Amino acid sequence: MPRRKFLAGALAGSFVFVPALRTAAAGDARMDVYKDPLCGCCESWAAAMRQAGFSVSIHDESNMAAIKRRFAIPAELEACHTAVLDGYVVEGHVPVEAVRKILAERPDIAGIAVPGMPAGSTGMGDDPEASYEVYVIPRQAGGMPTIFHRVRPRTKP
């Protein structure tokens, strides 16, 4: 086979694999989770993220208020733990689907949050009947949080 044809074929074939590699890399994204050392639900949430393919590093912090200030989490969106992933803040018991959605869509926001600790959310029981919202953490101070993703009960077949 002539060298030019071989190189052209190899180069064309490499473009087929590049998107697949990019998708796989998103699943291997590094996530830093800041949590109170005594919080078990945060451990459960981190375990769910690991199971989804994320590389999770846990940082036990005794002063979570300082972490919230550091990452500019609005008080009305605060939850028990704060994660940082690929330039985004992920506050609280955000489900895997919403984490994957932010990485796929890459919106111009600071991050996403599930305020408080909703019963049945990821790490809080993982109940298929759970119903709650995931909010946008706006980049601008004083910006209004909007709904990013809704979690609703799964329909039964």
Residues 114-139 have pLDDT tens digits of 999 999 999 999 998 999 999 999 99
Which one has a higher pLDDT value, 25 or 20?
A: 25
- Residue 126 structure tokens: 């993982």
Domain span at residue 122 reads 30-151
Q: Give Rg (Cα) of the chain.
A: 19
Pick left, alpha or beta for residue 125 (phi over 0 → left; psi -120 to 50 → alpha; otherwise beta): left
Query: How many structural domains comprise the chain?
Result: 1
Mean pLDDT of 80-88: 96
What is the model's pTM? 0.80
Task: For residue 75, give Cα distances in angstroms to 8, 25, 72, 96, 113.
Answer: 56, 33, 9, 23, 11
Could you tell me if residue 2 is inside a domain? Answer: no
Q: Which CATH number belongs to the domain containing residue 142 in this structure? A: 3.40.30.10
Mean pLDDT of 1-29: 40
Mean pLDDT of 81-108: 97
Could you tell me if residue 99 is inside a domain? Answer: yes
